């Protein structure tokens, strides 16, 4: 299932039943593997004052697929249910239009969702017996199940002096990796071999240790993160929220029109609320024809071919994003865009299966008019790049991303990035955590942080991202952000409410376009400085934010600083351009996140960008460091453009993730830059005392009384296991190493689950070759909590 898919809901009209229902349903699409199961959340929206209950049922699935709801009945006071779909071993893989029906008395309503069933599952079996295989314990890095990447592909950057011509093939993980092509950065190439997910990670680790290689990484897959006379302008509450109408009285973006690139799913080029004269020739950078869904690979047609996010409806995410930036304004049609004069450079990088990091970074380089291997030159350089997409990994694990961002920054192009929609620390997501981008969190109609928005010290500013669970001014989902789209069922262009930091980022990209229309020479540092200085700060309660049915309470520990400088103010930002220059500075850290073992050291480069003629010395300090972590800066104070932070981690620091801040002060000014430290284990753990469990699946839940486990004794990092005497049935297999000896699965432990096709897979004994890896867990990562195996595993531990 996409860890980072669109964050929006589609409400479907009533059908069936003798009465008109007072409720509607929405169900996100989901993926499950043959022989396994998947889960998704069903949301039911009730009319105001409704007191009835709705009974849920699953329909339209093929034989061998069953579903259960927890709870099976919902109401206006408890309006969500967890749907678990179990896919039997004989079900054919494919995409199915599944239906959730809600019934209340004689009234009923339905929601159709895409059920994608993938081939896979464990070896055949089913008569009972043992489950066996190989288990390894990781080094605290990414596991094969943590983040999507292109199967078999590895990105390699060689050190200066190494000839790419001589590196047609590489040996790693026992296979021959063939070079697919050169990439657009010097000394960088894409390689491929017949490797599974864990094999790719093993190859990356082996290649990274070689002296001639600067870095190696998987080819990660990222996904979308989602007063004029225009008749629907009254529904665009998100513009008055940032004082945009007042800014339009001064600047509408037509003085010096600015080119904005939207790196996304492409563009519905014929939508009537886009001015064709303001759309520049774009490019389709998707290299895989199957992902592109247009029958070919890279070409000069950025038209959005659709991503089939729902069975009969594509998201057209890039069109929605572009509409916020520059939809036609004051034209008696539809909605308004932030900038009335900006020009759109559409770059298509996201398809049916998201987008690969290579395609995305090539699209970024092309938008900045930098050379891209095999692509024509772009004659229309973008001044601003909007990136409403992301993936769940820190930028330090995707060095190609930072390399490309550095190159684009040097070309004078401003990058605006969505913070992500996981209600987690933005430091764990790309490109939001990378240095050199303006990272934007999302607010809802109340002005507080939207319930989905990522947070943390890496957030620069906030902007309206919307909240479609709010019915505003009598309009269902009116709390979302309204922008152009298309209805696939009737083939009509329309306007739809979405929500997400994908919608927040283009508010800021559009605002910077207004600012550069006033002052074309405006740099990234100057723009960010003005946005921060003029933003309206959020207090702690506002940053803890809004709630919804899926997130009834805010994440713990959030403070006001986790929402950056606050909500952008368009009027104040434009006014600041007309005043005398304010001497100031901004800081950035490279890397912005890093891992150090206890007893280890590392260095971080602190970049200092000065604006408004500021030349003063800056005193640097490290804030928020846990006991045992220290840092010293050279030089300090710094009168230049960089300083070096030397970090030291004592052997007593426990494993975990620690958000910190590099703080610079000069006179009355104080500026922060985020730095996230992950402390790994100095002495790599072994399999000794690892607990392996086979968890019995009943079809709707795990039965711990019919589950079994074994404790391993091997003092090695890789070894075999066997769980014997299992009754006939289906099992999930999981393993755990209790690092801190507190008898519970928590931060700093190692945990893993057997996966197939990136989903939890059920196994029928007897079965062998059920191999898995245990990886370091983090208390700040919610991915572990999403694994349905975990709760059963914890219950089984209580019975040991």
DSSP string, 28-50: --EEEETTBEEEEEEEEEE-TT-
Backbone angles phi, psi at 260, to 5 degrees: -120, 125
Within its chain, how far is the Cα of 149 from the centroid?
13
* Residue 145 pLDDT: 42
Contact 148, 221 (CB under 8 A): yes
At residue 35, the pLDDT reads: 67
Q: Centre a 10 Å sphere on the Cβ of residue 694 and count the other Cβ atoms it contains.
A: 27
- Greater model confidence, 1 or 455: 455
Instruction: Enumerate the active-site residues.
Output: 264, 317, 502
Q: Which of 7-21, 227-241, 499-513, 617-631 has the lowest mean pLDDT?
A: 7-21
Structure tokens that stand for 143 in this block: 């596991």
The pLDDT of residue 781: 33
pLDDT, tens digit, for every residue of 759-769? 677 788 988 87
Residue 247's nearest CA partner among 221, 229, 227 is 227
46-61 tens-digit pLDDT = 888 888 999 999 999 9
Please name the residues in contact with 465: beta carbons below 8 A apart, sequence gap of 6 or more: 441, 442, 443, 444, 450, 452, 453, 481, 499, 500, 501, 502, 503, 504
Give the C-alpha separation, 260 to 225, whole Å.
18
Helix (H, G, I), strand (E, B) or coil at 334: coil
Give the integer Cα–Cα distance in Å for 213 and 210.
6
Average confidence (pLDDT) over 695-707: 84
Q: Are 675 and 604 in contact (CB under 8 A)?
A: yes
Quick one: pLDDT at residue 29? 75
Range scoring the smallest mean pLDDT among 370-384, 545-559, 709-723, 758-772 = 758-772
Q: Is the pLDDT assigned to residue 629 strictly greater than 80?
A: yes
- In order of 20, 403, 437, 508, 761, the CA distances from 396 in angstroms are 53, 11, 14, 25, 30
Residue 684 is predicted with a pLDDT of 64
pLDDT of res. 681? 60
Q: Which residue has the higher pLDDT, 579 or 546?
A: 546
Task: Answer whether residue 245 shows pLDDT above 60.
Answer: yes
- pLDDT score, position 413: 98
**Joined tokens for residue 706:** 């019919």
**With contact defined as beta carbons under 8 Å apart, do 659 and 624 qualify?**
yes
- When pLDDT is averaged across residues 305-316 and rounded to a whole number, the result is 82
Query: 655-668: per-residue pLDDT in tens?
Result: 888 889 999 999 99
Phi, psi (degrees; rounded to nearest 5) at 537: -60, 145
Largest CA distance in the chain: 80
Q: Kindly report the CA angle at 632 between 629 and 635, in degrees rounded to 5?
A: 165
Residue where the block lists tokens 């206006």: 76
Strands 384-387 and 414-418: parallel
Name the token pair of 328: 């036609």
Tell me the mean pLDDT in the region 268-275.
Answer: 94
Whether the Cβ atoms of residue 191 and residue 177 lie closer than 8 Å to each other? yes
Whether 727 has a pLDDT exceeding 60, the answer reads yes
pLDDT in the model for residue 682: 56
The pLDDT assigned to 66 comes to: 84
How far, in Å, are 204, 215, 310, 526 from residue 219 at the CA level? 11, 13, 26, 33
The DSSP bridge pattern shows strands 669-679 and 129-137 to be unpaired
Report angle CA 570, 576, 578 to the nearest 5 degrees: 115
Q: Nearest to residue 436, comparing CAs of 457, 420, 414?
A: 414
How many angstroms separate the Cα of 744 from the Cα of each of 402, 515, 653, 792?
Answer: 37, 53, 20, 12
Rounded Cα–Cα distance for residues 515 and 253 (Å): 8
- What is the Cα–Cα distance from 405 to 437, expressed in whole angstroms? 8
Instruction: Quick: pLDDT tens for 465-520.
Output: 998 888 888 888 888 999 999 999 899 999 999 999 999 999 999 999 999 999 99
Confidence check: pLDDT of 554 > 90? no
Checking if the pLDDT of 733 tops 70, the result is: yes
Task: Give one DSSP letter per residue of 365-428, joined into a string.
Answer: HHHTT---TTS---SS--SEEEE-EEBSS-GGG-HHHHHHHHHHHHTT-EEEEE--SSSSBGGG
Beta-strand relationship, 54-59 and 461-464: unpaired
Q: How confident is the model at residue 266 (pLDDT cuts 50, 70, 90)?
A: very high
DSSP designation for 14: P
Alpha-carbon separation of residue 429 from 34, 445, 456, 459, 668 (angstroms): 30, 25, 11, 11, 32
State the residue for tokens 């932030």.
338
Cβ neighbours around 634 below 10 Å, total:
12
Over residues 329-340, the pLDDT tens digits come to 877 778 889 999
Cα–Cα distance between 325 and 257 in angstroms, integer?
A: 13
* Alpha-carbon span 563 to 543, nearest angstrom: 6
> Residue 709: its pLDDT value, please?
93
Three-state SS for 215?
Answer: strand
Question: Cβ–Cβ contacts within 10 Å for residue 642, how many?
Answer: 11
Cβ proximity of 691 and 797 under 8 Å = yes
SS3 category, 787: coil
State how far Cα 768 lies from the chain centre. 35
DSSP for residue 552: S
Backbone torsions φ then ψ of 651, nearest 5 degrees: -70, -15
User: Is the model's pLDDT at 15 over the cut of 50?
Assistant: no
Instruction: Tell me what the pLDDT averaged over the chain comes to.
Output: 86
Query: Is the model's pLDDT at 102 over the cut of 80?
Result: yes
Picking from 86, 83, 87, 79, the residue whose alpha carbon sits closest to that of residue 99 is: 83
Query: Which one has a higher pLDDT value, 620 or 202?
Result: 620
Strands (E), 422-500: 438-443, 461-464, 481-487, 492-498
Indicate the SS3 state at residue 498.
strand
Distance CA 74, CA 55 (A): 7
From residue 591, alpha-carbon distances to 127, 602, 689 in Å are 52, 10, 35
pLDDT at 205: 83
The answer to whether residue 123 scores a pLDDT higher than 60 is no
526, containing H or E segment: helix 524-534
* Alpha-helical regions (H) of 251-338: 289-292, 317-326
What sign results for the dihedral spanned by CA atoms 524, 526, 529, 533?
Answer: negative
Written as six digits, the tokens of 455 are 């947070």
Burial class (CB in 10 A: 0-12, 13-18, 19+), 151: middle
pLDDT over 70 percentage in the chain: 90
Helices 524-534 & 501-518 angle (0-180, nearest 10): 110
CB-CB contact of 466 with 459 (8 Å): no
Question: Cα separation of 546 and 462, whole Å?
Answer: 14
Burial string for 558-580 (b: 16+ CB within 10 Å, else e) reads beebbbbbbbbbbbbbbbbbeee
Q: What whole-number distance in Å separates Cα of residue 344 and Cα of residue 322? A: 8
Q: List the structure tokens of 232.
A: 């629907």
Predicted local distance difference test score (pLDDT) of residue 114: 82
Query: Which 3 state secondary structure label does DSSP give 575?
Result: helix
pLDDT in tens, 184-234: 999 999 999 988 777 788 888 889 889 999 999 999 888 887 544 556 667
The confidence score (pLDDT) of residue 151 equals 81
Answer whether 456's CB lies under 8 Å from 427's CB: yes
Encode pLDDT of 414-436 as tens digits.
999 999 988 889 998 999 999 99
Q: In the predicted model, is pLDDT for residue 550 greater than 80?
A: no
């Amino acid at each position: 299932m996409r860890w980072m898919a669109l964050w929006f809901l589609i409400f479907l009209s009533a059908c069936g039943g003798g009465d008109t229902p007072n409720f509607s349903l929405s169900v996100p699409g989901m993926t499950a593997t043959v022989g396994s199961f998947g889960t998704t959340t069903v949301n039911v929206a009730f009319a105001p004052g409704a007191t009835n209950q709705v009974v849920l049922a699953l329909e339209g699935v093929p034989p061998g697929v069953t579903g259960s709801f927890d709870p099976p009945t919902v109401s206006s006071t408890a309006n969500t249910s967890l749907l678990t779909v179990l896919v039997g071993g004989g079900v054919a893989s494919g995409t199915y239009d599944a239906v959730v029906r809600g019934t209340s008395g004689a009234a009923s309503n339905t929601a159709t969702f895409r059920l994608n069933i993938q081939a896979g599952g464990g070896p055949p079996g089913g008569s009972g017996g043992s489950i066996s295989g190989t288990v390894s314990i990781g080094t605290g890095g990414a596991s094969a199940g943590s983040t999507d990447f292109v199967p078999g592909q590895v990105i390699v950057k060689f050190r200066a002096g190494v000839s790419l011509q001589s590196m047609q093939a590489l040996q790693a993980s026992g296979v021959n990796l063939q070079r697919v092509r050169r990439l657009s950065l010097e000394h960088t190439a894409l390689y491929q071999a017949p490797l599974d997910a864990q094999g790719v990670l093993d190859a990356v680790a082996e290649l990274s240790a070689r002296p001639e290689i600067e870095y190696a990484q998987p080819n990660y897959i990222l996904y979308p993160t989602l007063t004029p006379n225009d008749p629907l302008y009254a529904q665009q509450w998100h513009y008055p929220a940032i004082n945009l109408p007042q800014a339009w009285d001064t600047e509408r973006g037509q003085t010096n029109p600015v080119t904005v690139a939207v790196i996304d799913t492409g563009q519905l080029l014929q939508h009537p609320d886009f001015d064709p004269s303001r759309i520049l020739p774009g490019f389709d950078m998707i290299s895989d024809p199957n992902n592109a869904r247009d029958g070919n690979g890279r070409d000069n047609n950025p038209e959005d071919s659709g991503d089939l996010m729902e069975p009969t409806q594509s998201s057209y995410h890039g069109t929605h994003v572009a509409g916020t930036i520059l939809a036609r304004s004051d034209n008696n049609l539809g909605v308004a865009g932030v900038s009335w004069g900006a020009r759109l450079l559409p770059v298509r990088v996201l398809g049916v299966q998201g987008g690969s990091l290579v395609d995305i970074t090539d699209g970024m380089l092309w938008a900045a008019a930098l050379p891209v291997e095999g692509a024509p030159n772009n004659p229309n350089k973008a001044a601003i790049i909007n990136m409403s997409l992301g993936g769940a990994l820190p930028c330090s694990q995707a060095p190609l991303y930072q390399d490309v961002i550095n190159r684009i920054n040097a070309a004078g192009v401003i990058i605006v990035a969505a913070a992500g929609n996981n209600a987690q620390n933005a430091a764990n997501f790309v490109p939001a955590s990378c240095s050199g981008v303006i990272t934007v969190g999302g607010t809802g109609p109340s002005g507080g942080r939207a319930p989905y928005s990522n947070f943390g010290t890496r957030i620069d500013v906030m902007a309206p991202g919307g909240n479609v669970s709010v019915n505003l001014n009598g309009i269902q989902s009116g709390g979302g952000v309204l922008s152009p789209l298309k209805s696939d069922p009737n083939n009509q262009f329309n306007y739809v409410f979405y929500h997400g930091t994908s919608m927040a980022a283009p508010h800021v990209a559009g605002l910077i376009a207004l600012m550069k229309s006033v002052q074309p020479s405006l740099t990234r540092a100057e723009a960010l400085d003005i946005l921060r200085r003029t933003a309206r700060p959020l207090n702690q309660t506002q940053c803890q934010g809004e709630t919804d049915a899926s997130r009834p309470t805010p994440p713990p520990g959030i403070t006001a600083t986790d929402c950056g400088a606050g909500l952008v103010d368009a009027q104040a930002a434009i006014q600041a351009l007309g005043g005398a220059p304010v001497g100031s500075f901004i800081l950035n850290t490279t890397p912005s996140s890093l891992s150090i073992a206890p007893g280890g050291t590392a260095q971080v480069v602190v970049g200092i960008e000065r604006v408004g003629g500021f030349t003063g010395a800056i005193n640097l300090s490290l804030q928020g460091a846990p006991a045992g972590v220290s840092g010293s800066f050279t030089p300090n104070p710094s009168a230049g453009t960089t300083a070096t932070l030397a970090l030291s981690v004592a052997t007593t620091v426990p494993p975990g993730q620690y958000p910190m801040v590099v703080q610079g002060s000069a006179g009355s000014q104080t500026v922060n830059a985020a730095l996230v430290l992950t402390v790994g284990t100095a002495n790599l753990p072994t399999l000794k005392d690892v607990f392996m469990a086979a968890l019995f699946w009943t079809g709707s839940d795990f039965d711990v009384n019919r589950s079994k486990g074994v404790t391993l004794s091997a003092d090695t990092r890789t070894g075999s296991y066997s769980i014997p005497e299992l009754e006939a049935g289906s099992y999930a297999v999981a393993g755990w190493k209790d690092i801190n000896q507190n008898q519970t699965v928590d931060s700093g432990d190692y945990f893993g689950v057997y996966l197939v096709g990136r989903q939890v897979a059920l196994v029928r004994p007897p079965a062998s070759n059920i191999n898995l890896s245990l990886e370091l867990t983090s208390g700040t990562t919610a991915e572990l909590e999403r694994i349905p195996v975990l709760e059963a595993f914890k219950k089984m531990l209580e019975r040991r």
